């Protein structure tokens, strides 16, 4: 059977944190297990440097500059990836890792397309990118989405006051907070949790519609309290997070990057599909709220409306 590593991996958000660690883990594999890399991230020195480091390790790498908050940029990035694939500059596309994500301190903030910024970057950008590239995969292939247990609030998220998802119609989730409503950290983290639940619903519906041999997986790296995602909690809790991150067993980009690279490439995970949920290196059942065919179908429909409106 053809291995995933015989092709190309496209990864978003490669310049810092988990994405940078994953890029390094992919590039540092033995030559026979090393994919070509398409790195989609904000253009600038950080993207140039991470690509150069991956090339120095022996990987074939192309940077694709893209501001994921701008759907026009995302469409252009997908087109650039298609052109590289069609020209044979890289091997066939066998994995897409939707790693990039953010939280914002103020959910009044809108993307250039007018959507709440967390939902725009974490969910809509990846739905646009994957949709544009779905016909470009060469089976066997994998789509790996970055999930989070914030959708139901486990013990660590409770300690850090990260609220669970509060699901509403996706058209409503895509709207920035009304100007008359105050800004709170709870709103910020609820928007993050909602975006992660959206990715889980999307994973299930995407699998129903994906070409044969393209498997969809959701990866939860574990709570990484010292990363940039925690900035909405303020500097004091960020400092606590960095201390907690040093405890053995607590997730960090250095620990989780190789796990994400493994999910994208290794034969161990070849059986996973249907939005299977992997926490670190173990498959887990999700809570009942995370599986809802009616919500999933509605999300797919609403996503098409939102993406079309931004053209």
Q: What single string gives the DSSP state of each residue in the chain?
A: ---GGGSEEEEE--SSHHHHHHHHHHHTS-GGGPPEEEEEE-SSHHHHHHHHHHHHTT--EEEEE--TT-HHHHHHHHHHHHHHHHTTSSPPEEEEEE------S-TT-B-TTSSBHHHIIIIIHHHHHHHHHGGGEEEEEEEEEE--GGGT--HHHHHTT--------HHHHTSPPPTTSPP-HHHHHHHHHHHHHHHHHHHHHHHHHSPTTEEEEEEE----TTSGGGGGG-HHHHHHHHHHHTSTTS--HHHHHHHHHHHHH-GGGTT--TTEEEETTEEEPPPGGG--HHHHHHHHHHHHHHHHHT-
Question: How far is CA 74 from its chain centroid?
Answer: 14
Q: Do the domain assignments include residue 41? A: yes
Cβ(151)–Cβ(164) below 8 Å: yes
The better pLDDT of the pair 165, 246 is held by 165
| Mean pLDDT score, 137-165 | 85
pLDDT value, residue 77: 98
CB-based burial label for 130 (10 Å; 0-12, 13-18, 19+): buried
Half-sphere exposure of 93 (CA within 13 A, CB side): 24
pLDDT value, residue 42: 97
pLDDT value, residue 44: 97
pLDDT value, residue 244: 53
Half-sphere exposure of 246 (CA within 13 A, CB side): 5
| Mean pLDDT score, 134-151 | 95
Question: Averaging pLDDT over each range in 85-89, 183-187, 189-193, which range is the top one?
Answer: 85-89
Q: Do the domain assignments include residue 63? A: yes
Q: Do the domain assignments include residue 272? A: yes
pLDDT value, residue 1: 45
CATH number of 302's domain? 3.40.50.720
pLDDT value, residue 163: 85
pLDDT value, residue 3: 83
**Residue 21 is part of which domain span?**
8-310
Cβ(269)–Cβ(278) below 8 Å: yes
pLDDT value, residue 229: 52
Q: Do the domain assignments include residue 3? A: no
Helices 17-27 and 253-265: crossing angle in degrees, nearest 10, is 50
pLDDT of 102 strictly over 90: yes
Q: What total number of domains does the chain contain?
A: 1
Instruction: Give the pLDDT confidence of 237-284 residue by residue, as tens digits.
Output: 555 455 555 555 676 888 999 999 999 999 999 999 999 999 999 999
pLDDT value, residue 87: 98
| Mean pLDDT score, 8-17 | 97
| Mean pLDDT score, 191-195 | 95
CA distances to 29, 61, 89, 134 from 49, in Å: 19, 12, 20, 29
Cβ(218)–Cβ(148) below 8 Å: no
Q: Do the domain assignments include residue 1? A: no
Helices 185-209 and 125-133: crossing angle in degrees, nearest 10, is 20
pLDDT of 231 strictly over 50: no
| Mean pLDDT score, 286-308 | 97
Q: Lowest mean pLDDT of 27-31, 103-107, 266-270, 291-295, name the range.
A: 103-107
Instruction: Give me the chain's average pLDDT, please.
Output: 91
CA–CA distance, 4 with 271 (Å, rounded to integer)? 13
Instruction: Give the pLDDT confidence of 32-44 residue by residue, as tens digits.
Output: 999 999 999 999 9
Half-sphere exposure of 184 (CA within 13 A, CB side): 9
């Amino acid at each position: 059977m053809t291995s995933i590593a015989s092709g190309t991996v496209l990864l978003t958000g490669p310049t810092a944190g988990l994405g940078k660690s994953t890029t390094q883990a992919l590039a540092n594999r033995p030559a026979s297990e090393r994919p070509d890399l398409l790195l989609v991230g904000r253009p600038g020195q950080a993207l140039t440097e991470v690509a150069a480091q991956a090339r120095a390790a022996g990987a074939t790498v192309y940077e694709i500059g893209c501001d994921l908050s701008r759907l026009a940029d995302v469409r252009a990035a997908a087109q650039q990836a298609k052109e590289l694939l069609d020209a044979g500059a890289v091997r066939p596309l066998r994995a897409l890792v939707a790693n990039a994500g953010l939280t914002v301190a103020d959910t009044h903030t809108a993307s250039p397309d007018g959507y709440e910024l967390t939902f725009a970057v974490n969910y809509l950008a990846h739905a646009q990118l994957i949709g544009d590239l779905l016909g470009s995969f060469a089976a066997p292939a994998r789509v790996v989405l970055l999930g989070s247990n914030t959708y139901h609030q486990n013990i660590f998220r409770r300690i850090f006051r990260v609220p669970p998802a509060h699901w509403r119609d996706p058209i409503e989730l895509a709207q920035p907070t009304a100007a008359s409503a105050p800004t709170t950290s709870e709103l910020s983290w609820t928007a993050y949790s909602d975006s992660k639940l959206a990715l889980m619903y999307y994973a299930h519906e995407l699998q129903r519609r994906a070409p044969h041999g393209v498997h969809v997986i959701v990866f939860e790296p574990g709570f990484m309290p010292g990363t940039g995602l925690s900035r909405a909690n303020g500097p004091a809790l960020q400092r606590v997070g960095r201390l907690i991150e040093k405890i053995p067993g607590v997730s960090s980009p250095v620990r989780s990057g190789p796990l994400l690279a493994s999910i994208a490439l290794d034969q161990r995970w070849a059986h996973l599909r249907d939005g299977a949920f992997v926490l670190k290196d173990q498959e887990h059942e999700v809570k009942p709220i995370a599986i809802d065919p009616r919500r999933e179908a509605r999300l797919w429909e609403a996503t098409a409306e939102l993406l079309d409106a931004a053209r």
